[in-house]
Amino acid sequence: MNYETLKVAIGDDRVGVITMNRPEARNAMNTTMMGELRDCFAGFYVDPDTAACLILTGEGAGFCSGADLKERKGMTDATWRRQHAIVEQMVRALMDCPIPVIAAVNGAAYGGGMELALGCDFIYAAQSARFALTEVTLGILPGAAGTQNLPRAVGVRRAKEVILGGAPFSAEQGVAWGMINKVCPDGELMAEARTTARRIADNAPVSVRQAKKAIEKATELDRFSGYAFELEAYYRTVTTEDRQEGINAFNEKRKPQYKGR
């Protein structure tokens, strides 16, 4: 996993940290970063056993300030559309990732940066973090699933206020609205995110991946159809070695040793 704009490190605890690495541009996404994020998450889709939980964060004092507007200056319509096709693939790869992804927002998450955080499974944020969907102030609108993921997180009325106004808001506001799971002191953000990631990584991988799929259907299907999907996901775990290991470890009063099969 050698990238120009990303740093990817997977530890012995099977927690992977993906760091957007353009601190000189507040980790703004140029075309290269968009493509590398797409390829990175697509790779985890192809080989989900590579890691058991992922953390997405930014290098330096910022998470991601959105698309690199300097690169977009003077961009033709055709080039813009081509670049945005990469964004669309990137967002789908992130949301399709079978491995849980925690956004550890360590600074400004504006525009596409906030949409990246929303595309993750949940968000931890530093106290100094700031968020905004500023697209309408630039003559466009959110195009990385912001109009879809934000209403699911905060409700339609709050999402309209945020998207149509384009004003920034704090991490504390994000928690109050239900968008952010936890606000951490700036120096403790990654430690808190890693603690939760390790807790997830300690669980049975197939169970975690199947549960993630089932949860995502809760807002997409009616309740009984969602329950039918849950049961399909549930029965996928019944025949695994990990299911037997979990029961044995419980009865033997020891920590289970899951193998992902």
Q: Would residue 88 show up in a list of annotated catalytic residues for this protein?
A: no
Of residues 51, 67, 159, 171, which has the active-site annotation? 67
Copy the structure tokens of residue 167: 């004003």
Provide the β-strand partners of residue 19: 7, 57
Angle at CA of residue 37, ends 29 and 140, nearest 5° = 45
Q: Would residue 112 show up in a list of annotated catalytic residues for this protein?
A: yes
Q: Would residue 245 show up in a list of annotated catalytic residues for this protein?
A: no
Copy the structure tokens of residue 215: 């949860």
Of residues 115, 117, 125, 145, which has the active-site annotation? 115
On the CB side of 164, CA atoms within 13 Å amount to 7
Of residues 16, 59, 117, 135, which has the active-site annotation? 135
How many Å apart are CA 160 and CA 169, to the nearest integer?
14
Of residues 112, 119, 146, 174, which has the active-site annotation? 112
CA separation, residue 71 to residues 28, 32, 181 (Å): 10, 11, 33
Show Cβ contacts of residue 114 under 8 Å, excluding neighbours closer than 6 positions: 66, 131, 132, 133, 146
**Residues labelled catalytic:** 67, 112, 115, 135
